[in-house]
Structure 1
């Protein structure tokens, strides 16, 4: 049997149901390539009664070896945030079902609902954009398309990118694509004790340092057409 379990956003974000299931699993994997964890993952082992947790990189997960193991044993794959936001995890679930492996998904909080802490209404978000650690700038097209219909844009960032590099790239790419962004929202480590939200223009965001330095994982939001209540709430983060 294969269990795909969401960890939520903090070290203690996993549900009681998830913890109970892990107690009976013969092998536990931790997917470690889609996010920079905001905590030391050794804390997970302590939370789970010091059970051994095997790191699972992209090569291992995409090989689908975990499905073969689940044909014989109870296997768990731990995923930061919600368990099915990455395409790879859907592929694992699909392959398991095709192979006759019994599957169970345990959901948890993710950035897709935690971003509601900005005060923006979740149903007004459009397509999600991914800012890559490459010269590509096609993600700007998604922002522009969302703005055309008044929708907000959640921007996810490639793992390993420093904030100063990200904000510089967003500024340069938007200017190159004739997109004017007066203010954007930056969300740091939502769902943890180190959660911070900033709503500023590029010039002020570029000057964040010291105690205000943005730490991974972080994401950004480009607001679309806002209701007056959304505007009022965002004023808390100026």
Structure 2
């Protein structure tokens, strides 16, 4: 696996276009990877996950992939400095059962509901478009509960902090929108991002390695699912 770190130029008109349309950002990210001829989506075939993090001077774009990307197709002046690409194989070797890490994840936490309940929720939030069969989780507790459930599926647990609560903090991030084309019909995209910062402990190294490679949750084409690890903080 490879991880690219891109320092974007926030004055670039191409980046401003991407920032305003999440589907355009997806297309820019995927321009670094070869086209796939079969029916498998290119993002899935190349294992591409990405996340846009705010920084002191703008934004950092992190892109993880199974194959090494070629960023030469980026528009001129899209970056303020050369891209950094590193092999993640040494980091994967550190994934062992019982290991503790600090982590960051931007996700799209939702819960599946019956269609009738989804319609009721849509009416309750007038003017807000609910995804069919999925409802966005908006309270901090429901967002934490969602990640705890993801941990049960993907081989990790969230430890308890000194205050007796899960050692994790969810922060509302960007609501991003865009438009894609499905056949001849335009399709509106809305993704509610939540950023998680905290600690985790690996309980099943095989499941967790798969989660690192493939991402967690929905919206993986649109800036969600990428887990970043770092040494635990005191």
Larger radius of gyration: 1
Tell me if both proteins adopt one fold, taking TM over 0.5 as the criterion. Answer: no
Higher helix share: 1
Normalising by structure 1, we get a TM-score of 0.32
Normalising by structure 2, we get a TM-score of 0.32
Query: Relative contact order (C-alpha < 8 Å, sep 6+): which is higher?
Result: 2
